[in-house]
Each structure stands twice: as structure tokens, then as C-alpha cells.
């Protein structure tokens, strides 16, 4: 399968609860590459890349978040794959 890449912005109670670090664990479990970071507006932003089933699963995870999260809105857009490997939490 060819890799796909998505840009994701998650709004709600998503900062201060370990969202980014939980996202990294989930991405590693699913074999998804990319990055995640907090935004100054209180949202969490990520780019994720991998095979379509893994990306769908990761998007499902983002829509729920870890325990303690309350996701109100998730906005996604398509990006061109970059061939990135690994998943990082950025500042």
C-alpha cells in the first residue's frame, strides 16, 4: 500500500493531560510516522503518515484522545507524503 499523510488539529480539553505523549505511543503501536505539538490556541496539531488503515486508526484515536481528554472538534486535511520515519513530540 502507498503511504498517505494527514494534517490534524484537535480542539477541546487536549492540553495538560498527556495527549501528545499518548499520541506518540499510539502512533508507534500503529506504525505511523509524523509529529505532534501543542498550539498556543489550546489545540493539539499533528501530521501523520502511514498506510491508510493505520492512518484511519490514528485519526480515530485523535477523535477520542487519551483518558482525560474531551475532544470537541477535529479538523483534517490531506498532505503529500514525505517519507518521514518515526514519530516525535515537538514543542
The pLDDT of residue 1 is: 74
26: Cβ contacts below 8 Å, ≥ 6 apart: 32, 58, 61
From 20, 24, 29, 39, active-site residue: 20
Report pLDDT digits (tens) over 17-33: 999 999 999 999 999 99
- Which residue's entry shows cell 486535511? 77
Residue of 4, 66, 71, 68 whose CA lies nearest to 29 = 66
DSSP state of 22: H
Report pLDDT digits (tens) over 66-90: 999 999 999 999 999 999 999 999 9
Instruction: For residue 6, indicate whether it is catalytic.
Output: no
The pLDDT of residue 53 is: 98
Instruction: For residue 5, indicate whether it is catalytic.
Output: no
Q: Per-residue pLDDT for 91 more than 90?
A: no
The pTM for the full model equals 0.95
Amino acid at each position: 500500500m502507498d503511504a498517505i499523510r494527514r494534517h490534524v488539529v484537535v480542539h477541546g480539553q487536549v492540553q495538560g493531560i498527556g495527549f501528545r505523549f499518548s499520541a506518540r505511543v499510539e502512533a508507534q503501536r500503529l506504525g505511523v510516522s509524523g509529529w505532534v505539538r501543542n498550539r498556543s490556541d489550546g489545540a493539539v496539531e499533528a501530521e501523520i503518515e502511514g498506510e491508510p488503515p493505520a492512518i484511519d486508526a490514528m485519526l480515530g484515536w485523535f477523535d477520542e484522545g487519551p483518558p482525560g481528554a474531551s475532544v470537541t472538534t477535529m479538523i483534517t486535511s490531506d498532505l503529500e507524503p514525505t517519507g518521514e520515519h518515526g514519530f516525535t513530540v515537538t514543542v
